[in-house]
Amino acid sequence: MKKFLFVAAALITPFAAPLAYANDEALLGEARKVATTLPPRLIVALQEEITKSGPEGAIPVCKDMAPRMAGEISQQTGWKIKRVSLKARNDARAIPDAWEKAALEDFDKRAAAGEAPAKLEKGERIGNEYRFVKALPVQPLCLSCHGPAEQLSPAIKAAIGQHYPNDKATGYSEGQIRGVISVRKGL
């Protein structure tokens, strides 16, 4: 009997690994889909609002609409969604944990070495959870609120100073990584 079990295990094991892999691939695909839902919607809303009322009028898009949209997508998909950064603007919700921080540091190094920032992502099963992060590259649109401090308008500086006294999220240039969108789901 023991021998039979051993043989059975030996037969099953080679199949177990690809099965687990297929499962993680599915999770990666799902995580990527969830993570890429929010940024394009935000960019459209930012563009519209900046055209209508200038960058300072668009601050609520990043401040209120982004977390609200993230909450809606969470409810629809069951994935928790956050945006985090090594240089956080909102230190109440954008400070990365150790896993996110390691990914952000790795992405910065790889972008500096020439990898396309928009392609940088990482997915991993950790214990009973699947986690995924995707880099958010700085585009020209972002610079009116995240660019070098001396290039920000006085109105933006005042609004940011008022809402975010500990702001670290200026001084970026196009193509740098502003942060990541971070999604996770219990398995």
Strand partners, 121: 134
The dihedral built from the CA positions of residue 139, 144, 146 and 149, taken in this order, carries a sign that is: positive
By DSSP bridging, strand 80-84 and strand 121-126 are unpaired
Q: Please, which residue, 7 or 155, has the CB nearer to ligand HEC?
A: 155
Q: How far is the CB of 140 from ligand HEC (least distance, A)?
A: 9
Asked whether 134 and 121 are in contact (CB, 8 A), the reply is yes
Q: How far is the CB of 51 from ligand HEC (least distance, A)?
A: 12
Q: Please, which residue, 23 or 151, has the CB nearer to ligand HEC?
A: 151
Binding site for ligand HEC (CB under 6 A): 43, 46, 55, 58-59, 62-63, 67, 83, 85, 88-90, 93-94, 136, 138-139, 141-142, 144-146, 169, 178-179
Q: How far is the CB of 42 from ligand HEC (least distance, A)?
A: 7
Q: Please, which residue, 171 or 186, has the CB nearer to ligand HEC?
A: 171
Q: Please, which residue, 7 or 149, has the CB nearer to ligand HEC?
A: 149
Asked whether 182 and 132 are in contact (CB, 8 A), the reply is yes
Interatomic CA distance for residues 34 and 54, integer angstroms: 29
Asked whether 140 and 43 are in contact (CB, 8 A), the reply is no
Q: How far is the CB of 11 from ligand HEC (least distance, A)?
A: 48
